[in-house]
Amino acid sequence: MKRHATTVVLLLLAVALGVWLWLGRDEVTEGERQRRENNVFSAWRREDVSRLEIAHEGETIVLERDAKGDQPWRMTSPRQERVDQAAAERLMTTLEFAVVVRKVGEGAGAGESATLGFDAPRATGAVTMGPLVFRFTLGGPSPRPEGSGYLRVDDGPPFVASRELADALLAPSDTYRDRTVVPYLSLELARFEVKHPGGGFAVARRDGRTFDVEGLGISASRAALDKVWGALAEMRAEAFPKDADADRLTASPTLTIAMSPKEAGKPPGELVVGEACPGHPNDVVVLRTKPTRVAACAPRGAIDALLAIVPAALVDKKPFSFRHDEIEELRLESLGDRPGGAGAAPRAIEVARRGTGFHQREPEDRELTAEEADAVSELLSLIELGAADGVERGGGARFDAIARARVRAGDYEETVEIGALPRPAGPGGPLASPSSGPGGALLPAPGAGARDGGAPLASVTLRRVRDDARLKVTPALARRLVPRATTTRPRAILGETRRVMRVVLRCGTSQELVDSGAGLKLVEPSGYETDGSIVQLVDGLVRGKALAWVADADDGSFGLDGPAAPPGPCRVVLAFADANAPATVRFGAEGEGGVYGEVDGRPGVFVASGALHELTKRIYVSHAALRVPPEQIESVKVTSGGRPAPARDPAALRDAVGGLFVDRVVALGSSDVGPVDVDVQIAVTEGGPPKRVVCAAPRPTSTGVWRRCATPAVKATFDVRSALVDALLASGPAPAGGAREAGASDAGPRARAASDAATHPHAH
């Protein structure tokens, strides 16, 4: 019984406490008062604030919300409309944390209390927190601190409030108006139309994520629509014109936007765009007439972006609307019989994302290696980048497909059917359409950029199932959508770990380099120092990656053998330390953003980067053939145009000679540069042989200004940036006697903090 009595007593005390708190909820508690003794408002119950009222300059601003339902703020005066929630929250925060700057009379001049301005207040208002209401009056400005003002809360004593609080209480109602002009988001739309005197466009929703271009019956490009939605997002109010001005300036619209929401029962939206906003020359008047009226000054740039769009620019030219990183599944499927045998392409390939990699479902169920997953990722990127040269409406016409590609992203799937691929009539011959038959139609064809006799390749037709559109694409793009044995092959060109002991180059100037223990050195042609950039070529072939594998076999159309590869075939042979299985890499025609290539004895055609191909054509003679290290220079004499060049600082001359690095070896066998424009005579220290460098006049090109230079000691000509040679001719302090010569007596050899090899790693 005693236990129950205790429980009853505690329950009664809790009820009594609740009643006491309820009855005193409209009063400031002592605890609140102590915690906020220096704040403007002695209590602040943020979750209970339901109404803010501020009256000044002839208007009364009232912001209200349902505090219990945690609803957003709305403006009920001086107009009924939505509120910029961020602006309302800033006002709430300013009021909550406002403090008393000083009491009246503290630090002020005599008679301050007589000039508080409460007889004609600048602003009055009230803050409602449930049953608790604070009323305030903002009087005149205070002399200190600058911008502050006199304030009184309820019947309390006046005090000085901060400039921040005074400015917040004097802000106009436009400060709290919602800046949103466009009534609906793109996700809410069933139809969107832009009309203007020069034309316009309209799109209608096809499904949950795509739109069609009205009048064309073809899907709209996601990227193009993103520009449309981006322009709408920028169409936010910078200011609010008067209603009379808005009506006058939109009487003859420059552009009208109509929006139909997909949710039944929702009213349509309409925006009318007119002339420049008064006082805002970079904005135009936008009048929202439906579903509610709002007049705003919006950025002119957003309107100009919409005026520039025509229906044809909206057409989706890509096979799929998904970005590569959105695709969760990819299935490539052949619809005809495929030739069998080892290395043959599978009938279907299906992969799905798993974590950061991919899982293969067909042709066998297994996890792809990291290298294979990288190949799939690159394939998806290439598919996303691919676009048609032309798009036509299908109209339900029959389409004969040899393969099908399907992708899935989330709950959405998209399918593309691939028409017959073109094939060459013979090795290196012109392309022809394949004859009917299940096997031959899938022969790989060359990619974009390949040519035969100057004529562009035949195109391949794709059918985009979602809108029945027919896309004219390059064979290169179509080939990516057909299952291949190389679809998931890792992108490594050779993938070798063996040490390269010999390199034979047959890509222009014939060269052979051999490693006899001191790195690769030129043995053919002989008599030249070797440029260290040969390691870049070796690494690119041995450990580097192709841009993609594009075909299972060479069909004679990739320019890999014969005259199809201008200026002729190119091959690189690598021999290894174990003396087994040398590798021969061939390069052919340009295409698909690089150069086609293959490895002899291994199936598959790849695309290598243009940079790697350029390395195969480089002449590997040292790029330091013209320079002399500054610390080895005794003197320098420069002649320009047959006359001694103007005198220059000796140390600067030595540095300029030390910087004469070559950009490109032009040719071997001769050091003739033609008419000499600059002649440099270099005497070296410790009795070494002198050196001479000659350069022709500057030669402007699209890649810069160059000079052809040489030294008689090396039978070769080089291209050097003209600026490096010009550094020898620049004016500077003259040595004694005015001679254009730098001698050891002037400054002596100069030590260098870093070696030339570190500064120019390609020089040897």
Residue 703 is predicted with a pLDDT of: 92
657 pairs with which residues across the strands?
none
> Does the pLDDT value for residue 558 go beyond 60?
yes
Q: What are phi and psi of 570, to 5 degrees?
A: -135, 130
**CB atoms near residue 608 (< 10 Å):** 24
Q: pLDDT of 135-166, one tens digit each?
A: 999 999 999 899 999 999 999 999 999 999 99
Q: Can you say how many angstroms the Cα of residue 70 is from the centroid of all Cα atoms in its chain?
A: 39
Q: pLDDT of 641-678, one tens digit each?
A: 889 988 888 899 999 999 999 999 999 999 999 999 99
- The set of residues, in sequence order, having a beta carbon less than 8 Å from that of 241 and lying 6+ positions away, is 249, 277, 278, 285, 295, 296, 297
Arithmetic mean of pLDDT over the chain: 86
Q: pLDDT of 441-490, one tens digit each?
A: 332 333 333 333 334 457 999 999 999 999 999 999 999 999 999 999 99
Number of H helices, E strands in the chain: 15, 47
123 pairs with which residues across the strands?
138
Task: Measure the CA–CA gap between 20 and 12, rounded to whole angstroms.
Answer: 12
Average pLDDT for 204-230: 95
Structure tokens that stand for 68 in this block: 């219990």
Task: Measure the CA–CA gap between 384 and 322, rounded to whole angstroms.
Answer: 7
Task: Measure the CA–CA gap between 287 and 269, rounded to whole angstroms.
Answer: 11
Task: Measure the CA–CA gap between 541 and 606, rounded to whole angstroms.
Answer: 12
Residue 649 is predicted with a pLDDT of: 86
Q: Can you say how many angstroms the Cα of residue 53 is from the centroid of all Cα atoms in its chain?
A: 47
Provide the 8-state DSSP code for 114.
G
83 pairs with which residues across the strands?
177
Residue 583 is predicted with a pLDDT of: 96
By mean pLDDT, which of 127-131, 350-354, 358-362, 744-748 is the weakest? 744-748
> Does the pLDDT value for residue 341 go beyond 70?
no
> Does the pLDDT value for residue 566 go beyond 50?
no
Quickly list DSSP for 393-461: --TT-----SEEEEEEETTEEEEEEE-PPPEESSTT--EEPPPSSTTGGG-----TT-EETTEEPPPEE
Tell me the residue ranges of DSSP E strands in 87-183.
Answer: 100-103, 123-129, 132-141, 149-153, 159-161
Confirm if 740 and 646 have CB atoms less than 8 A apart.
yes
> Does the pLDDT value for residue 210 go beyond 90?
yes
Q: pLDDT of 242-284, one tens digit each?
A: 999 999 999 999 999 999 999 999 999 999 999 999 999 999 9
Higher pLDDT: 440 or 36? It is 36
Q: Provide, rounded to the nearest whole percent, the portion of the chain with pLDDT above 70.
A: 85
By mean pLDDT, which of 65-69, 103-107, 562-566 is the weakest? 562-566
Average pLDDT for 738-756: 36
Task: List C-alpha distances in Å: 549 to 349, 462, 722, 763.
Answer: 15, 21, 40, 34
Residue 331 is predicted with a pLDDT of: 98
> Does the pLDDT value for residue 746 go beyond 70?
no
Higher pLDDT: 121 or 447? It is 121
Task: Measure the CA–CA gap between 224 and 127, rounded to whole angstroms.
Answer: 48
At 73, the pLDDT band (50, 70, 90 cuts) reads very high
> Does the pLDDT value for residue 195 go beyond 60?
yes
Residue 546 is predicted with a pLDDT of: 95
At 745, the pLDDT band (50, 70, 90 cuts) reads very low
Nearest to 416 by CA among 332, 327, 312, 315: 332
Q: Can you say how many angstroms the Cα of residue 66 is from the centroid of all Cα atoms in its chain?
A: 43
Task: Measure the CA–CA gap between 30 and 684, rounded to whole angstroms.
Answer: 93
> Does the pLDDT value for residue 340 go beyond 90?
no
Residue 217 is predicted with a pLDDT of: 93
pTM of the model: 0.74
Residue 738 is predicted with a pLDDT of: 34
By mean pLDDT, which of 300-309, 371-380, 435-444, 677-686 is the weakest? 435-444
Task: Measure the CA–CA gap between 302 and 157, rounded to whole angstroms.
Answer: 52
Task: Measure the CA–CA gap between 362 and 334, rounded to whole angstroms.
Answer: 12
Residue 758 is predicted with a pLDDT of: 33
Residue 112 is predicted with a pLDDT of: 56
Average pLDDT for 35-59: 94
